[in-house]
Amino acid sequence: MSDNNFYQRMTDAVVNGEVAEASRIAQETLNAGLNALDVIKQGVVGGTDKLGDLFQNFEIFLPELIMGGDAAKAAMAILVPHIPIAENYQAPGKIVMGTVFGDIHDIGKNLCAAMLAATGFEVTDLGVNVAPKRFVATAEEIGAKIIGLSALMSTSLYYQQDVINYLKDAGLRHKYYVIVGGGPVTPDWIRKIGADGGGKQANNVVEVCKQLAFHEKRPPFDEPLVIW
Amino acid sequence: MSIELFVKLLDKAHRGEICSVKEWDAQRVPTAVKGKLAKYELAKRVDKENPINCDDELADRYFKAGYEMAHELGIFCQDSERIIKVTEEDLHYGFSRAPKKLILGKGKDQVVMLPRRPEDGVRPLFTAPLGIVVTEDIWIPLNTGIAMQHEVDILQGGSLNTVFGSPLKGGTPYETVGGRLQYEYHQEALWRAGRPGMPATAPITSPTAFGQLGGYGIPHGFPVDQNVCMILGPAEMKTTYDAFHKVAHALNMGATIMSGASPMIGGYAGPPEGTAIAGVAWGLVQYYVHFADYGGCAMMDIRFNCNTNRDSIWALSTTIQALSRNTDLLIQSVSNQLGGPMTEMLLWESAAIMMALSVSGASVVIGPRTSGGKWTNHLSPLECRFCGEVLHACSGMTRVKANEIVRQIIPKYENKLREPDNGVTFQEAYDVSTLTPKPEWQAMYDKVKGELIEMGMPLKW
């Protein structure tokens, strides 16, 4: 089987949200001696790019995006440890995400989490109604780079600020980029609470995270990275 | 008796089939929707040139699909991560206990809600506004201005985000205090507007159960005999313990219950056609799961966070027609606009969605969600009046006529949905001391209304 054939099969597995198949193909490529980074770039990322395009055009919807993200994540888990050191590959990193305390809405958070996973981020989704301390504890535990805070209600927005305050009080603010999103979030709010970034739509959030993942400046930012 | 049945429902939430949130969202719901789309040949049905559905047979097929989905899929309890099984008997119990007529409010401010059919001449009720954040300093004048609009039948009021200046944090005692404080402000606004008996859906500032427990049905809170208790789910086909706390409290109080949630086009149920099926299923199941006296369906498009684009108008009109044609239930729906106060965009969007919901058979519509509900104080009484005028004027209009008009309206705003005109705040759009719109805002209203009349909408000056 040619390399291109492997890449195409991986792309198809990701687009079709076939988690077990993506894992199996990842292992097959390694067994066949393919370069893991090439498989990621040509196969996995090819699939995730296609997923993004299909969603933007409403040819697929949120469930397919979630499953595609899972398939990409499964393939990456097998491939990343086998990237040759000389390739100097940098994964985008880990993100802790959730809907803040007092809020049980999850569709926006799920959309962002799926798109981020499909972009190669390792996403830990804490679900909904998450207490500030839990975001920070999980970020510490898994070595996250970014904390993503979703809120749909004006009455839960304050908990985005609480997480940032908790990080400051615990002397951890410099360790994590904090991004915020959700219905009532505005650029003014992002600046007011001292978050590091935010976006108007899920694809904007992904772009912000991609820039933060490789940003030279450590948090916190004086001026947040906002794509609106 | 209801409370005993409610406990049995809770038992189901604790003993039902275990299912992860992800499995529910990414597999169970989409699989069920796809199955119904195929079985009833409902895929690819959106008619962008005629966004208000005119096909009764199609609406009826959506009803059958949604009805089946409701009792085959059940409802997911987000807290216990179990599926609440719903039988056909359960659904029919919910329908049987729901009233066929509701009298809300008191005295001269009393209003009557009745079941409606598509193109029905029965006057639908209008509830205003949707939960837009309004600061404490202007909460009373702004909501007084809204209550003064006689096109507004039920006052929902803006959401508070502070209590006595402190952040109103959901799920904390601030929220409990907020529920009570909202009533004090609300009562003052009604008194100033001269409509003390006007009903409310309340309290709007209740993201968890605490706001309701602190503000509804208690001494010095929203009186049960005048006001409706509002219970919202997090998404279609999902409920939570917070919603169940509210149901328990409402049943204990003998309250009238309104239930709702917004299925998202592009979300768990997929395309507009799938979302319409999920909308029907959710619309039906609330009468059992939330003991709704009136329920129904809102809807939004995940790409724009509004329901004034063609896909949303089609899906929502089809959903409401499916429910109103095939039941005698009181059906509510919601308008979600993106334009802000002092923009023509807001008025054109409002005209399109209010007309669509009126001719589709909604018994009550809640709105507007001015500026997408995103910007604090971006709300004014004038668009509330305008929404009510359109909703009421279009009762009895045919769907064919409504499509003729909506085809002229949508091009006036649809290219702005990605970058909407957010407009201005209440203080910028109004003279707060006299509660009258600024001349520029009044002129926009007059212009758009005049053009709508020329298009054939039976509005009155």
With an 8 Å Cβ cutoff, are B169 and A106 in contact? Answer: no
Q: What is the pLDDT of residues A173-210, one digit of tens each?
A: 999 999 999 989 999 999 999 999 999 988 899 999 99
Q: Tell me which residue in A55, A62, A106 faces B234 most closely, judged by beta carbons.
A: A106
Average pLDDT, chain A: 92
Question: What is the reported pLDDT for A83?
Answer: 86
From chain B, pick out residues whose CB is under 8 angstroms from the CB of A103.
170, 207
**Nearest-by-Cβ selection for B240 from A61, A104, A183:** A104
For residue B127, name the pLDDT band (cuts at 50, 70, 90). very high
pLDDT at B427 over 90: yes
Q: What confidence tier does A34 reach under pLDDT thresholds 50, 70, 90? A: very high
Phi, psi angles (nearest 5°) of residue B153: -95, -35
Contact A138, A126 (CB under 8 A): yes
Q: How far is the alpha carbon of A109 from chain B, nearest alpha carbon, in Å?
A: 12
B58 touches chain A (CB under 8 A): no
Say if B241 is an interface residue toward chain A (CB within 8 Å): no
Share of chain B above pLDDT 70, in %: 100
In this model, does residue A52 exceed pLDDT 90?
no
pLDDT of residue B86: 97
Residue B442 C-alpha, separation from nearest chain A C-alpha, in angstroms: 28
As a whole-number percent, the residues of chain B with pLDDT over 90 amount to 95
CA separation for the pair B197, B108 (Å, rounded): 7
Query: Which of B302, B305, B418 to substitute to test the interface with A, most A CBs within 10 Å?
Result: B302
Question: Which residues have C-beta within 8 Å of that of residue B208, sequence separation ≥ 6?
Answer: A102, B170, B171, B175, B242, B245
Decide if B374 and A186 are in contact by the 8 Å CB cutoff: yes
Closest CA of chain A from B449, distance in Å: 30
B128: β partners: B155
Average model confidence (pLDDT) across chain B:
96
Q: Hey, which of A108-112, A127-131, A197-201, B347-351 has the most confident mean pLDDT?
A: B347-351
Using CB atoms, pick whichever of B25, B205, B302 lies closest to residue A63: B25
Tell me whether B30 touches chain A (CB under 8 Å): yes
| A144: pLDDT strictly greater than 80 | yes
What ipTM does this complex have?
A: 0.91
Q: Which residue type does B410 have?
A: I
Q: Give the confidence band of B2 by pLDDT, cuts at 50, 70, 90.
A: confident
Q: Quick check: B74 contacting A, CB < 8 Å? A: no
pLDDT value at position B414? Answer: 97
> Above 90 in pLDDT, residue A80?
no
CB-based contact, B169 to chain A, within 8 Å: yes
Give the per-residue pLDDT at B139.
Answer: 97
Q: B434-442: list long-range contacts, CB under 8 Å, 24+ apart.
A: B435/B141, B435/B144, B435/B145, B435/B148, B435/B381, B437/B380, B437/B381, B437/B382, B438/B342, B440/B342, B441/B341, B441/B342, B441/B380, B441/B382, B442/B382
**Is pLDDT of B56 > 90?**
yes
Best residue in A58, A154, A159 for a mutation probing chain B (most B CBs within 10 Å): A154
Residues of A in contact with B240 (CB under 8 A): 104
Instruction: Kindly determine whether residue A58 and residue B235, on different chains, have CB atoms separated by under 8 Å.
Output: no
Q: What's the confidence (pLDDT) of residue B1?
A: 59
Q: Which helix or strand (DSSP H or E) is residue B258 part of?
A: strand B256-260
How near does any CA of chain A get to the CA of B175, in Å? 8
Number of cross-chain residue pairs from A and B with Cβ atoms under 8 Å apart: 101
**Residue-by-residue DSSP string for B14-38:** HHSEE--HHHIIIIIHHHHHHHHHH
Residue B261 has what pLDDT? Answer: 87
Whole-number pLDDT of residue B133: 94
Q: Is the pLDDT of residue B313 over 80?
A: yes
Q: Which residues of B touch A110 (CB under 8 A)?
A: 25
pLDDT, one tens digit per residue, over B10-36 is 999 999 999 999 999 999 999 999 999
Q: Which pLDDT belongs to residue B419?
A: 92
Partners of B170 on chain A (C-beta within 8 Å) are 101-103, 153, 155-156, 159
Question: Residue A104: its pLDDT value, please?
Answer: 87
Give the bridge partners for B104, in sequence order: B111
Give pLDDT tens digits for B274-309. 999 999 999 999 999 999 999 989 999 999 999 999
- Distance between CA atoms of A215 and A196, rounded to whole angstroms? 11
CA distance B455 to B461: 15
Label residue B146 by pLDDT band (50, 70, 90).
very high
pLDDT at A86: 73
Q: What is the pLDDT of residues B381-392, one digit of tens each?
A: 999 999 999 999
Contact A62 B240 (CB under 8 A): no
Question: Which residues of A are less than 8 Å from B134 in CB distance?
Answer: none
The pLDDT of B428-437, averaged and rounded, is 98
Closest Cα in chain A, distance from residue B413 (Å)? 20
Out of A105-109, B24-28, B198-202, least confident range: A105-109
Q: What is the mean pLDDT of residues B175-179?
A: 95
Work out whether the CA dihedral A4, A10, A13, A16 comes out positive or negative.
Answer: negative
Q: Give me B447's structure tokens.
A: 């212009």
Q: Looking at residue B60, what is its pLDDT?
A: 98
Instruction: Give B167's contacts in chain A (Cβ within 8 Å).
Output: 158
